[in-house]
Amino acid sequence: MDKQVLRIGAGAGYAGDRIGPAVELAEKGQLDYLVFECLAERTIALAQLERSKDAAAGFDPMLQARMRAVLPTCIDQGVRIISNMGAANPLQAGHAVLAVARELGLPQVKVAVVLGDDVLATLTQSGLSLPLQESTQTLADLQDRLISANAYLGAEALLPALTTDAQVIITGRVADPALFLAPLMHHFGWAANDWTRLGKGIVVGHLLECAAQITGGYFADPGYKDVPHMAELGFPLAEVSASGDAVITKVADSGGCVTVATCTEQLLYEIENPARYLQPDVVADFSQVALTQSGPDRVQVTGGQGHPRTDTLKVTLGYRDGFIGEGQMSYAGPGALARGQLALDLVRQRLARAGYGAFEGRYDLMGVNAIFGPCSPASPEPAEVRARVALRVPTWPQAQHVAHEVEALYTNGPAGGGGASRSVREVIAAAAVLVPRSAVKTSTVMLTQDH
Partner 1 sequence: MLLRDIAHTRTGDKGNRSTLSVIAYNPKDFALLEQQLTAERVRAHFAGLVNGPVERYDLPQLGALNFVMHNALGGGVTRSLALDAHGKCLSAHLLTFVLE
Which of 420, 432, 439, 446 binds partner 1 (CB under 8 A)? It is: 432
439 lies in the site for partner 1, by CB under 8 A: no
Q: Minimum CB separation from partner 1 for residue 264, in Å?
A: 5
Q: State the Cα–Cα distance between residues 319 and 316, nearest whole angstrom.
A: 10
DSSP for 217-232 reads TTT-BTTTB--TTGGG
Q: DSSP H helical segments within 175-251, as ranges?
A: 178-188, 195-208
Helices (H) and strands (E) in the chain, counts: 12, 18
* Burial status of residue 38 (CB atoms within 10 A of its CB: 0-12, 13-18, 19 or more): buried
Candidates 231, 252, 358, 375; binder of partner 1 (CB under 8 A) is: 375
Interface with partner 1: number of residues (CB under 8 A)? 52
CB closer to partner 1, 242 vs 370:
370
Among positions 21-60, residues that touch partner 1 (CB under 8 A) are 41-42
> Given the complex with partner 1, which of 316 and 444 has the nearer CB atom?
316
Among 358, 373, 380, 451, binds partner 1 (CB under 8 A): 373
In this chain, which stretch among 55-63, 183-191, 230-238, 384-392 interacts with partner 1, using CB under 8 A? Answer: 384-392
**Cβ-count burial 140-168 (b if 16+ within 10 Å, e if not):** eebeeebbbbbbbbbbbbbbebbeeebbb
Query: In degrees rounded to 5, what are phi and psi of residue 20?
Result: -50, -50
Strands 146-151 and 312-332: antiparallel
- Does residue 370 interact with partner 1 by CB under 8 A? yes
**Distance (Å, rounded) from C-alpha 388 to C-alpha 334?**
19
User: What is the spatial distance between Cα 270 and Cα 225, in angstroms, rounded to a whole number?
Assistant: 21
Q: To which H or E segment does residue 262 belong? A: helix 260-267
Q: How far apart are CA 368 and CA 284, in angstroms?
A: 41
Binding to partner 1 (CB under 8 A): which residues in 219-238? 219, 221, 224-225
Write the CA distances from 327 to 337, 338, 388, 407, 426, integer angstroms: 17, 18, 6, 7, 15
Q: Which of 140, 366, 408, 446 binds partner 1 (CB under 8 A)?
A: 366
Asked if 288 touches partner 1 (CB under 8 A), the answer is yes
- Binding partner 1 (rule: CB under 8 A), the pick from 106, 271, 439, 446 is 271
In the complex, what is the shortest distance from the CB of residue 103 to partner 1, in angstroms, rounded to a whole number?
36
Using the contact rule CB under 8 A, the part of the chain among 67-75, 122-130, 183-191, 259-267 near partner 1 is 259-267
Note whether 303 binds partner 1 by CB under 8 A.
yes
- Cα 45 from chain centroid (whole Å): 13
Q: How far is the CB of 32 from partner 1 (least distance, A)?
A: 28
The least CB distance from residue 385 to partner 1, in Å, is: 13
Per CB under 8 A, which of residues 392..431 are in contact with partner 1? 392, 427-430
**Site mask, partner 1, residues 57-96, x = CB under 8 A?**
----------------------------------------
For the CA atoms of the chain, what is the radius of gyration?
A: 24
Mask for 147-186, x = binds partner 1 (CB under 8 A):
----------------------------------------
From the list 338, 358, 357, the residue with the least C-alpha distance to 349 is 357
Q: Could you say which of 5, 99, 128, 268 contacts partner 1 (CB under 8 A)? A: 268
Closest separation in Å from C-beta 149 to partner 1:
15
Task: Estimate to the nearest angstrom the gap between the alpha carbon of 373 and the chain centroid.
Answer: 26
Are residues 44 and 315 in contact, defined by beta-carbon separation less than 8 angstroms?
A: no
> What stretch of H or E contains 325?
strand 312-332
Binding of residue 206 to partner 1 (CB under 8 A) = no
The residue among 170 and 390 lying less far from partner 1, judged by its C-beta, is: 390
Q: Which stretch binds partner 1 (CB under 8 A): 92-100, 139-147, 218-226, 335-343?
A: 218-226
**Candidates 94-102, 227-235, 285-293, 346-354; binding stretch for partner 1 (CB under 8 A):** 285-293
62 or 220: CB nearest partner 1: 220
Residues 319-358 that bind partner 1 (CB under 8 A): 321, 324
- As a whole number of angstroms, the distance between CA 256 and CA 409 comes to 44
The DSSP element (H or E) to which 422 belongs, if any, is strand 418-436
**Least separation in angstroms between CB 215 and partner 1:** 14
What per-residue string of b and e applies to 280-316 under the rule 16 or more CB within 10 Å gives b? bbbbbbbeebebeeeeebebbbeebbbbebeebbbbb
Q: Does 289 bind partner 1 (CB under 8 A)?
A: yes
Question: Which stretches of the chain bind partner 1, using CB under 8 A?
Answer: 41-42, 133-134, 218-219, 221, 224-225, 261, 264-275, 286-291, 303, 321, 324, 360-362, 364, 366, 370-375, 377, 388, 390-392, 427-430, 432
